[in-house]
Amino acid sequence: MNVFSLEGKTALITGASRGIGFGIAEALAGAGAKIAYNVSSPESLREGETAYREAGIEAQGYLCDVTDEADVRGMVARIESTLGGIDILVNNAGIIKRIPALEMSVEDFRRVIDVDLTGAFIAAKAVASGMIARGGGKIINICSMMSELGRETVSAYASAKGGLKMLTRNLACEWAQYNIQVNAIGPGYIATPQTAPLRENGHPFNDYIVSKTPAGRWGTTDDLKGSAVFLASSASDFVNGHILYVDGGILAYIGKQPK
Ligand code: NAP
Ligand code: GCO
């Protein structure tokens, strides 16, 4: 028996036209799962269609903002009637607004919380009743270094990702009885469009992050694939409420000592 096989399973990965979500979709498809994903803009939907086609993955893409409960429920119903019951949900859709707290509007703060935290609750709730009826499922939330750490300009994002860590633990406690394992991946600094502004030529943040990471480099979306398959598969059937940090050692490190 291959405990990492996802043959016969259906996965919904939110926000998976590019970046981490797309990488995770590739990994789950490689392990045998059927893939559905959603994005919030038509441009991203087109970007996703091209990316999946080029990767040779048959995937159903949906235009659906994770903050809209009715739309998310409608999407889940359509996926379940075409691909089959959703066995795996990856709550990956997320945004960041890098604005100092003193300058951040309440609207901006609320939008980040809405997408990164409330969106995960909406999607989890939308798939849970089907999972319960079918005897179980897997939910994987994409947390962050900011689930544990703060830094200048990301107060809303850190609040959302800290909240997502606790949502993971709480749903794990509530739904373990239904054989639903709720866990999270906490990526370190990963090279994606979201972090592109921090990696531009000569940006001081680039060297800063490399020096904060014992592995000495940015992560790639490939670095997250094994953890995603693990948490989506029967290999993790007794893993509940765990945040699996895949960060090149950032959270273990006090920082480079002075010479
Ligand atoms: P990204 O390249 O910006 O991709 C984000 C994806 O989410 C896009 O497909 C985007 O599509 C979608 N999305 C955004 N808002 C949405 C909404 N309201 N409804 C549905 N889809 C939405 O970001 P990424 O770097 O891959 O990050 C993916 C996740 O990992 C995020 O939750 C992020 O916070 C987290 N993360 C990233 C890093 C990192 O270093 N990159 C590290 C830790 C955690 P649209 O453009 O259409 O909205
Ligand atoms: C930032 C970054 C981070 C990463 C990631 C770290 O501005 O500090 O965008 O928040 O995206 O979440 O794990």
The per-residue pLDDT for range 167-185, each reduced to its tens digit, is 999 999 999 999 999 999 9
How many angstroms is it from 23 CA to the middle of ligand 1?
A: 12
For residues 122 and 67, give the distance between their C-alpha atoms in angstroms, rounded to a whole number.
7
Starting at the earlier edge strand, list the strands of the sheet with 243-246. Answer: 59-63, 34-39, 10-14, 88-91, 137-142, 180-187, 243-246
How many angstroms is it from 144 CA to the middle of ligand 2?
A: 7
The pTM score is 0.98
**CB burial readout 100-119, b (16+ within 10 A) else e:** eeeebeeeebeebbbbbbbb
Architecture of domain 10-249 in CATH? Answer: 3-Layer(aba) Sandwich (3.40)
Which residues, other chains included, contact 232 with Cβ-Cβ below 8 Å and sequence gap of 6+?
6, 9, 11, 28, 31, 33, 88, 90, 138, 140
Q: How would you class 47 by CB atoms within 10 Å of its CB: exposed for 0-12, middle for 13-18, buried for 19 or more?
A: middle
CB of 66 closer than 6 angstroms to any ligand 1 atom = yes
Query: Catalytic positions, please?
Result: 157
- Answer yes or no: is pLDDT of 201 > 80: no
DSSP state of 116: I
Please, are residues 154 and 197 in contact by the beta-carbon 8 Å criterion?
A: no
pLDDT band at 82, cuts 50/70/90? very high
Please, are residues 110 and 95 in contact by the beta-carbon 8 Å criterion?
A: no
- Report which bound ligand comes closest to the CA of 94: 1
The answer to which of 117-121, 192-196, 199-203, 250-254 has the lowest mean pLDDT is: 199-203
State residue 87 phi and psi, 5-degree precision.
Answer: -95, -25
How many angstroms is it from 32 CA to the middle of ligand 2?
A: 30
pLDDT band at 259, cuts 50/70/90? confident
Atom of ligand 1 nearest to the CA of 23: 26
